[in-house]
Amino acid sequence: MLAIETSCDETAIAILKGSTLLASEVASQIALHAPYGGVVPEVASRNHLRMLKPVLQRVLEIARLKIEEIDAFAATCGPGLATSLMIGASAAKGFAVVTGKPFLAINHLEGHLLSPFFGTTEGVRSAVGLVVSGGHTLLVDIESIGHYRLLGQTHDDAAGEAFDKVGKLLGLPYPGGPNVNHLAIGGDASRYDFPRSMIDSGDFSFSFSGLKTSMRYLLPKLESIHLPDLCASFQEAIVDVLVAKTVQAAAATGRSVVALSGGVSCNTRLREKMEEVCAAQPALCTDNAAMIGYVAALKFAHGETSPFSADIDPNLPLVA
Ligand code: KG4
Ligand code: ZN
């Protein structure tokens, strides 16, 4: 299975044999977008086109395979940026047509959701899934592969978006998430009191836009800016809500496994608080193609493929 992921600003390709990863390469565009403080879709799209060929050559080399030896081609078809999605999806369809092999359209969120199970001996298990990325914050009841129930999601900003916006307010380089996390390590998380929005709402919805507003109002009132304390206090508020809601969801569904995924699951404080589930595979947390290939391989093993008419969908839902 050769899987391509180009939903945002990472050009990623992976090759899997069954559920075994043979190669996984990610060409990050972070440096290109950093001067703009966020992802510029046009820039992302042009660079996917530029990077696709060298990344493809590299994975084929690492896996010691020729493109004719690939059995099926998969690509992320949504959600994501339309102009980014179309590059990877068109390429995968093109390879499938040329080689006469099947094509599989994969949901990016399903890739994140199942990525914690990748490489585990048990494979996909019933679990509560928390997907926390730059674009999404979802709690999902995972019954089995392809059978998901959306428990709740954010009403406004995604958790990663809150990290990035606050990072920007604090003058940190893009993306804010890892930088806030890094600075918070030496900070006092109890110094400033940020809102734990909706922590007792009794449902599995989230709201993170208030955090950025709190930070915006707090900053002008401070005599001096102590970045570690500010970052640690802000981060603690997000982590508290994510952990509390996930524990509530596990209790409500009776699931004994929590599957944490998405870029924000790289956060050391979040991992610390949900350690037992997340210790295994940080490399699979941020966008990559191995997670797309894993879902594609699982579906392909059940005889599932997609028609070439399967289109990209920037708003593709996880649960229809
Ligand atoms: O999953 P991902 O790579 O791309 C999306 O699908 O969005 O997630 C990227 C997000 C960004 O918002 C980034 O700031 C955040 O994940 N992130 C982190 C950390 N590492 C990445 N947020 C907090 N702490 C981190 N260590
Ligand atoms: Zn993602």
Please state, for a pLDDT cut of 90, what percent of the chain lies above it.
87
Question: Is the distance from the beta carbon of residue 235 to the nearest atom of ligand 1 less than 6 Å?
Answer: no
pLDDT of residue 311: 96
- Match 């084929």 to its residue by tokens: 60
For 20-68, how does the pLDDT look when each residue is reduced to its tens digit (9 = 90+)? 999 999 999 989 998 888 889 999 999 999 999 999 999 999 999 999 9
Residue 285 predicted with pLDDT over 70: no
Q: Which atom from ligand 1 is nearest to the alpha carbon of 266?
A: 26
Residue 247 predicted with pLDDT over 90: no
Q: Report residue 105: phi and psi, to 5°.
A: -90, 120
Residue 287 predicted with pLDDT over 90: no
What number of residues does the chain have?
A: 320
165, containing H or E segment = helix 159-169
User: Separation of 225 CA from ligand 2 center, angstroms?
Assistant: 32
Residue 279 predicted with pLDDT over 80: no
Question: Is the distance from the beta carbon of residue 265 to the nearest atom of ligand 1 less than 6 Å?
Answer: no
Question: Is the distance from the beta carbon of residue 80 to the nearest atom of ligand 1 less than 6 Å?
Answer: no
What does pTM read for this prediction? Answer: 0.92
Q: Residue 141 in contact with residue 148, Cβ under 8 Å? A: yes
Pairing label, strands 103-107, 127-132: unpaired
Mean pLDDT of 96-105: 98
Residue 281 predicted with pLDDT over 50: no
pLDDT of residue 229: 98
| CA 20 – CA 250 distance, rounded (Å) | 29
pLDDT of residue 42: 94
| CA 255 – CA 62 distance, rounded (Å) | 38
Q: Hey, which of 115, 264, 284 would you mutate to test ligand 1's pocket, going by the most ligand atoms within 8 Å of its Cβ?
A: 264
| CA 129 – CA 191 distance, rounded (Å) | 31
Question: Is the distance from the beta carbon of residue 78 to the nearest atom of ligand 1 less than 6 Å?
Answer: no
Q: Which atom from ligand 1 is nearest to the alpha carbon of 286?
A: 3
pLDDT of residue 37: 84
User: Separation of 312 CA from ligand 2 center, angstroms?
Assistant: 16
Residue 284 predicted with pLDDT over 80: no
